[in-house]
Amino acid sequence: MKKSKNEVMNLIFSAFLVTAFMVCSSFFLGMINDSFSQNETARILLVSLVFAIFGGLLFYATRVGDGRQVFRFSAATLIIMVLPALFVVLASAVSGMPLHEQLASRGEVTGIAGVILGYGILYTFLSGYELDRSEGGSDKTADAEAQAASEEAKYDDNDADDAAEASEEAEYDDNDAGDAAEASEEAEYDDNDADDAAEASEEAGDI
């Protein structure tokens, strides 16, 4: 299906937004590591927050489209994505939790968990920009469909008008052809009358 102009612009904007955040996040991560080098728990939580924001931007970048955000709750997404990612982040930051020693030394695992957490939280409650085809429907979707139906009806009316004009022109052509035939018959009758008059004149001259 061909993408609309609005959807293409959203994709371009989201790609630019994700790229810009990746550039800025390198600065934020360096500042966090320098500022909270003595507080490991705060450092891990803030780094996870940066990655979670990045995950939210990824959600926006991959779920854009026509329509509006459709709100719903997905228990499967909450259980499969959000809760495990939240556990990894907390276990990395808080000492005493299971797997703390193993996860605290693996910063890349914590970063991936932060991305999954940011993406999963939004995906638990939103399905992205889609056309709402539920029973109630959305106002925007209804308006868009009504506008599309109105345009189709307008095109149908134009086609009907064109067909009517073509029919009228054909009728006028038939009338013109009929008038021409009548004129031809009248001319033929006039020729016959002229011939009869000429014969009558010749007979009168012989007499």
Residue finishing a domain among 81, 107, 130 = 130
How many other C-beta atoms lie within 10 A of the C-beta of residue 135?
4
Domain encompassing residue 64: 5-130
- Asked if 53 and 37 sit in the same domain, the reply is yes
Q: How many domains does the chain have?
A: 2
Q: Which two tokens stand for residue 157?
A: 């009316």
pLDDT (tens digit per residue) in 136-177:
554 545 555 556 556 666 655 666 666 667 667 666 666 666
Is there a single domain that holds both residue 149 and residue 78? no
What is the rounded distance in angstroms from the CA atom of residue 4 to the CA atom of residue 64? 12
Q: Which of 108, 130, 152 is the last residue of a domain?
A: 130
pLDDT tens-digit series, residues 31-76 = 888 888 788 888 888 988 988 998 888 888 777 655 666 788 889 9
Same domain, 109 and 146: no
Same domain flag for 31 and 113: yes
Judge if 74 and 28 occupy the same domain. Answer: yes
With 0.75 as the threshold, say if the pTM is over it: no
